[in-house]
Every structure is written in structure tokens, then in C-alpha cells.
Amino acid sequence: MGGVNMNVPVVGYETLSRLSVCKPVDRIEYITNSCIDKKVLDIGCYDETALIKRGTNFWLHGCIANVAKGVIGVDDSKKIPDGGIETGPNSRIFRGNGLKLDGFFDKNIEIIVAGEFIEHIESPLQFISQLKNIFPGRRMILSTPNGVCFANSVLGAISREAQHPDHIHVFTYKILNTLCLRSGLTDYKIIPYRFFATQMILESNGSKKIAAQLAQGVVRGVERFFPLLSFGYIIDARLI
């Protein structure tokens, strides 16, 4: 696992069982650093609803491509041409189904990344099982929003909710732990990640941009003290 220390979290499922959760990390930074000098399969990476991030330090695929040995991206967006899109000297995104990956098998793949993906698909359990079958022993890094994050709780107080129109699942720390256990994973950790208002900040200017930056800072302050209210989670696992 390249020196990554993981095990199975001890999680009690009684309502008042205390959960030991680490401080939230920066999602882009954590995943990018994990991919340095690695051969990466990046699933669902095009993110056509947030292409404003392309060319910035906030586009996960681009950040991975900058540090990885090589990146094969897979996304079913119709905006991707038949020959794929070159995203760097050693990276390309191909149009394909992230749930049917046999055609993208590469014995040299070291890490499979699926950022903000499992909340979009019908069966996350089947998806992880597929990865175990095709890429046994490899490292898998997933990320997904937290269904009980502080940011959405605040929005709920003013009759609002921030959700992508394609989301069909919401996850919490315990639900993700159950997903890992039911997938048969025996070596994993679940790490909270910090709130980001990236798209709002990039699309705004003047007072609106300042307000978005201030809101981001306030939410991150709360998350630091209450990590179970963090914006999302990363699953970092070995596929065994």
C-alpha cells in the first residue's frame, strides 16, 4: 500500500456510540498526493457540470494528471469524443461506462480513484465488488458528500438544499462503514474532507465572492471541531 497505514475502523451502531473520526482534510490535496508517481484509473472524472474548474487547482483529474506517472480517465459524458480527450502528456479521458471496466483493465494500474461518483450510481456495493474482482490488491480511493454535513443543515434552516441533480444516494460515516464491510473490504479508513465553495467562488466576484469565501471559512471552522459534520468523506482502501 506504499506505506499507507489502514485497518478496519471500530464502529458501534448504537445511537449513542461514540465515533473516533479524524480532523477533515482537503479532498483534492489528499487524493492528489496519493497519486504521485502512480499509474491511475480515474473514474467519472470529467465532471461536465463543473468545467469552470478545468485549468485550476480545483479540478481533481487535472491535479492528478500533474503528478501521476499516467492517468486513464473513464467517463460516460457525451461531450467526450470517440478518441477521448488528452488532458496532459500522460493522461487521457475516454468515453466509457464506469460500471463496466473490463475493457479498461491495465495490469499496471496502481490506484483507482472515483471522486464524487458513488452517490450517482444505483449500486455502490456492486461497483466496489467489481473493482475487487478486476483490480485485486490495488489501492482504491473514493470520495462522496456527507448526507448530514453542517453546510446543508444551515441551508435547510432557510428552506434550501445543495444537491447535484444526479444524486440518488446520501452517505454518512456509519453508512460508508457498512458499505465497506458488506463489500468485504478488510483494510480501509474513512476520512472526512472539508467544505469547499469552489464553484461559487470561481463564478462570483466582488461582494458575492467575499461572502462565499467567508462562508467557506466559517463552515470549515465548525467542521474542525465537529468532523462528523464535515462536507464529505474519503474511503481509502486496499481491494482485498
Residues 105-130 have pLDDT tens digits of 677 899 999 999 999 999 999 999 99
| pLDDT at residue 91 in the model | 95
Domain boundaries, the chain: 27-238
Give every residue of the chain whose pLDDT is below 70, as ranges: 1-5, 48-53, 103-105
Rg (CA), the chain: 18
| pLDDT at residue 70 in the model | 96
| pLDDT at residue 28 in the model | 95
Q: How far apart are CA 185 and CA 176, in angstroms?
A: 12
CATH number of 27-238: 3.40.50.150
- Residue position matching grid coordinates 500500500: 1
Question: For residue 137, which of 185, 67, 190 has the smallest C-alpha distance?
Answer: 185
| pLDDT at residue 105 in the model | 65
Segments of 89-138 assigned E as strands:
91-95, 111-115
| pLDDT at residue 155 in the model | 86
| pLDDT at residue 1 in the model | 47
pLDDT, tens digit, for every residue of 189-207? 999 999 988 878 877 899 9
Half-sphere exposure of 82 (CA within 13 A, CB side): 0
Vertex 134, ends 138 and 115: CA angle to 5°? 60
